[in-house]
Amino acid sequence: MGRVTTRHRVVRIDEHHPGGVGAVDTLAVEEPLEIRLGPMRYSTTMRTPGHDMELVHGFLASEGVIAGPGDIASARYCTGTVTDELTGLPRNTYNVLQIRLADGVRPPGTGRQVVTSSACGVCGTDTIEALERASRFDLRADQIPVAAATVLSLPDGLRRAQRAFSSTGATHAAALFSPAGELLAAREDIGRHNAVDKVVGWAMLNGRRPASGCVLMVSGRIGFELAQKSVLAGIPVLAGISAPTALAVQTADETGLTLAGFVRGERMSIYSNPGRVVRV
């Protein structure tokens, strides 16, 4: 799986090997991605390498920097970012992305002066009121129904797409499904926010923003940041296998987002705007 996973020797201790036995384990890769807007170092986020262009599109959209793929004139990895210890020559780490915004797109005044860990959210909008002002899409106008049975089937579809998690047990996942439950895109990352940004970036690059009628399924806790990203991407239904936070539910209530948590087996809890989900 390339740079998504790596192998490492470990000592395993269990009931059959109380003295320990040598083995090889698979680990999820975590590397920084520096995002540069023109000459400015805008942000650095820790992520699992792969689908970086989608990640940047989704991240910049959630930050309000871009409204669509046409707002980015070019995106390329910077060459010569480090010096090879063996050859002394510059080499590409594929960890620095240079973004040139299109003419007429105003860059942000300053860059983020912090490295974003894979565990924390990156939110350019701090309040629900500001989020509603920033949103380009009216989720309440999206009345495409989704069957409850379809939503309940999505965790299995997400799990089947989690190749890195199957090897490492260390990655989060997010997936976009059609109203009929068809898997449109699935992405994994050590950061659940990065996984969502990659899916949103895919949607933007493939003409699905807003993602009308679609369901965003996530593998972990549903916090405010994930609700925010769903609203800004025009995704009307957000579902997860774990619990939402109070602020995520409040955000969903006030923006028209349908939010479902604890989607497991034959049950789920719909916290906000349940009218989209068709029950028997």
Cite the active site residues: 120
Question: What are residue 22's DSSP bridge partners?
Answer: 11
Cα distances (Å, whole numbers) of residue 150 to 145, 157, 236: 11, 10, 15
- Rounded Cα distance, 204 and 100, in Å: 17
* Cβ contacts of 207 within 8 Å, gap of 6 or more: none
- Rounded Cα distance, 215 and 183, in Å: 10
- Rounded Cα distance, 184 and 176, in Å: 5
217 closest CA partner among 172, 251, 248: 172
The DSSP result for 208-249, as a single string, is -SS-TT-EEEESS-B-HHHHHHHHHHT--EEEESSPBPHHHH
162 closest CA partner among 48, 242, 59: 48
- Rounded Cα distance, 192 and 171, in Å: 8
* Cβ contacts of 248 within 8 Å, gap of 6 or more: 222, 223, 224, 226, 227, 259
222 closest CA partner among 200, 204, 195, 254: 195
- Rounded Cα distance, 100 and 22, in Å: 49
* Cβ 158 vs Cβ 175: under 8 Å: yes
